Amino acid sequence: MKYFLAIIGGGPAGYTAAEKASKAGKDVVLFEQNAVGGTCLNVGCIPTKSLLYGAKQYYNATHAAKYGVTAENVVFDYAAMQKRKTIVVRKLVAGIKQRLNNEHCTLVSGSATVLSRTDKLVTIRCNEETYEAENLLICTGSTNFVPPIPGIKDNPAVWDSTDALAATELPASIIIVGGGVIGMEFATLYHELGVPVTVIEAMPTILPNLDQEVVAVLLDKYKKAGINILTSTKVESLDGGKVTANGEVYEAEKVLVSVGRRANLQGLEALNDLELNRGAIVVDDFMKTNLPNVFAAGDVTGKIMLAHVASRQAEVLIGRLLKQIPLQRIAYNAIPSVVYTNPEIASVGITEQQAEEMSVPTEVRKLPMTFSGRFMAENEGETGLCKMIIDAKNHSVLGVHMIGNPCSEFIAAASFAVRMGYTTAEFQQVVFPHPTVSEILHEII
Ligand code: NAD
C-alpha cells in the first residue's frame, strides 16, 4: 500500500497532522517509538504540571494562615503525586490513541528509519517492514542537550528533566544548572516541597528571553523564599553532586541539567541533502523543507520549542497539503508562552527589550495585578505585574507580559489582540467578566 503521508514522531505535531489528514480521508502512517503524545504528554508539559499542581496544594495548605486558615500536620506523599501524574498521562495518551483510531490512520509502534527518497516516493523501514508514502512529515522532536562539561557524562548524581520526572523519591537537595523554563519550573516544584534548591545560570539573568521587569518580580520572591539563584555563573566541572562554578564548589544530592534541547535527527541519515540550520530542519512558512515532498513540524524545526507551536504548524501544513482555502500561515508574532512558576508568568508578542533592539517606537504601559479586585482577593502578599507594549504610531497591541496567578488562563485574550492587530481602542471594547484577574487587560488600556 502506498500512503499519502508518512509521519515520523507522534508528539503534538505528529498526532495533530495524522488526525487531521486521516479524518479528511487521506491514508496516513504514523511511526512512534515510545508512547504517542511525545515529550509534551509523556515527559514534558503534562507530567510537570501534574506534579506542580500537587506541590502547589501542599504549599498553599502550609501558607494559608494569611487567609485565616491554619492547617496542622500537613504532609505530602511524593510517590502518590507521581502515581497520580502517571494516571493523568495514561488517560491523555489513551485519548490521543482514540483520536487516531480511524480506517485511514495506521499507527506503527517502533523506531522508523528513512531508507530512500525520490520526489514521488519516500521509503521507510520500521520493525523490519517497509512502508511507502508520497509525502514525509518529520516530527521527531528534540532531546535534552548535554553540555560538554567535564564530569557530566555517566555521573549518577546528574539528572535530566526526564530522570527528574521519573524519580519516585525527592532528592535531599538539588542544584539546577540552567535557569530557563525547565530549570525554573523544577526549582518551583522542589522548593514548594521543601527541598533546598540552588539554580546556576550562565547568563546575567534567569529566563533571559522574557521581559526582565516581569522576571525581576519572580526573582525577588524566590530569593526571599530562600531559593539560591546564582546568575552570570559558569559551571566548570562536576564531581558527583559537587559542582564547581566560577571557582566555588556547590554540593547537592542531585544535579538537574536543563540547558536547552536539540533537534532529534535520528533515522533521517538517508536524507543527506536535507537543509539544516544549527542542527534543526529548515522549513518555510508552510513547513516545507528544501526537498519537495518532505515536511517538518515541531521542535525538530528549531523554531519555538512549544507544543502549541508544533500542533499549529501541523494544522497549517495539513491545510496546505489538502489544498484547503484559504491557505493559512502561523502568526509567530502572536505565540503565547507560559512559565509555570508560582506566580505564573505568561507572555505574548514582543518585549520592551526586543522593541528597543528592533528600534520600534513603542509606548509601554504597566500596572500591578492588584488593580484587579479578584487578584487582591486571592493573592495575599503578591503584587504581580502586567505590561503592555503598544505601537507608538498606530496604537496596535504588540505584546503583553504578566506575572501573577492565574495569568496562564487568560493570556489567550492578549494573544487574540496581538494576532488580530487590535489597536488599544479596539481591544478596549472587549468586555471581561467581573471579578476576574483577566480584567487587568481592560484596566491597562
Ligand atoms: P531554555 O533555553 O529555556 O533555558 C536554558 C537555560 O540554560 C538558559 O537560560 C541558558 O542561558 C542556560 N544555560 C545554558 N548553558 C548553561 C550552562 N553551561 N550553565 C548554566 N546555564 C546555562 O531551555 P530549557 O529550560 O532546557 O527548555 C527547553 C525547551 O523546552 C525550551 O524551548 C522551553 O521553552 C521548552 N519548555 C517549555 C515549557 C513551557 O512552555 N512551560 C516548559 C518546559 C520546557
Domain ranges within the chain, ordered by starting residue:
2-144+262-321, 158-259, 333-443
**Distance (Å) of CA 223 to CA 39, 187, 304:** 30, 12, 29
Rounded Cα gap, residues 42 and 182, in angstroms: 15
Q: Taking phi first (over 0 means left), then psi (-120 to 50 degrees means alpha), and beta for anything else, what does residue 110 get?
A: left
H helix count then E strand count, the chain: 13, 24
Q: Is the CB of 229 under 6 A from ligand 1?
A: no
Give the distance (Å) from ligand 1 centre to CA of residue 278.
16
Q: Is the CB of 183 under 6 A from ligand 1?
A: yes
For the record, the C-alpha cell of 317 comes out as 501544513
Give the distance (Å) from ligand 1 centre to CA of residue 183.
7
Catalytic option among 104, 191, 401, 434: 434
- Could you tell me if 29 and 327 are in contact, meaning their C-beta atoms sit under 8 angstroms apart? no
pTM of the model: 0.97
Is 434 marked active-site? yes
Give the distance (Å) from ligand 1 centre to CA of residue 179.
7
What residues have CB less than 8 Å from 95, skipping those under 6 apart? none
Rounded Cα gap, residues 385 and 367, in angstroms: 6
Nearest residue (by CA) to ligand 1, atom 43, is 182
How many other CB atoms sit within 10 Å of the CB of residue 97?
Answer: 15
* DSSP assignments along 231-260, one per residue: -S--EEEEETTEEEETTEEEE-SEEEE-S-
Give the distance (Å) from ligand 1 centre to CA of residue 33.
25
Give the distance (Å) from ligand 1 centre to CA of residue 282.
21
CATH 3.50.50.60 for the 2-144+262-321 domain, yes or no: yes
Q: Which atom of ligand 1 sits closest to the CA of residue 206?
A: 9
For the record, the C-alpha cell of 445 comes out as 488600556
For the packed helices 45-62 and 181-192, what is the interaxial angle rounded to 10 degrees? Answer: 40
Q: What pLDDT does residue 327 have?
A: 84
Alpha carbon of residue 333 to chain centroid:
16
Q: Determine the residue of 182, 189, 340 to mutate for testing ligand 1's pocket, defined as the one with the most ligand atoms within 8 A of the Cβ atom.
A: 182
Q: Which atom of ligand 1 sits closest to the CA of residue 245?
A: 19
Give the distance (Å) from ligand 1 centre to CA of residue 422.
31
> What is the helix (H) or strand (E) element at residue 425, kind and residue range?
helix 424-427
Q: Is the CB of 235 under 6 A from ligand 1?
A: yes
- Phi, psi angles (nearest 5°) of residue 356: -65, -45
Per residue in 296-354, pLDDT tens? 999 999 999 999 999 999 999 999 999 998 888 999 999 999 999 999 999 999 999 99
Q: What pLDDT does residue 326 have?
A: 86
Q: Is the CB of 177 under 6 A from ligand 1?
A: yes
H helices within 11-101, ranges in order? 12-23, 38, 45-62, 78-99
- Identify the CATH homologous superfamily for domain 158-259: FAD/NAD(P)-binding domain (3.50.50.60)
Residue 150 is which amino acid? P
Same fold, 2-144+262-321 and 158-259: yes
Query: Which parts of the chain sit beneath pLDDT 50?
Result: none
Q: Which atom of ligand 1 sits closest to the CA of residue 177?
A: 20
- Could you tell me if 14 and 314 are in contact, meaning their C-beta atoms sit under 8 angstroms apart? yes
* DSSP assignments along 251-293, one per residue: E-SEEEE-S-EEE--TT-TT-TT--EETTEE---TTSB-SSTT
Rounded Cα gap, residues 128 and 39, in angstroms: 25
Rounded Cα gap, residues 124 and 372, in angstroms: 56
Give the distance (Å) from ligand 1 centre to CA of residue 215.
15
Query: Mean pLDDT in the chain?
Result: 97
**Distance (Å) of CA 349 to CA 58, 206, 283, 314, 445:** 34, 19, 21, 21, 17
C-alpha torsion sign, points 230, 236, 239, 240: positive
For the record, the C-alpha cell of 274 comes out as 536535507
Q: Determine the residue of 186, 259, 308, 403 to mutate for testing ligand 1's pocket, defined as the one with the most ligand atoms within 8 A of the Cβ atom.
A: 259
Residue 22 is which amino acid? S
Q: Is the CB of 267 under 6 A from ligand 1?
A: no
Nearest residue (by CA) to ligand 1, atom 34, is 305
- Identify the CATH homologous superfamily for domain 333-443: FAD/NAD-linked reductase, C-terminal dimerisation domain (3.30.390.30)
**Distance (Å) of CA 438 to CA 17, 91, 337:** 32, 30, 16
Q: Is the CB of 306 under 6 A from ligand 1?
A: yes
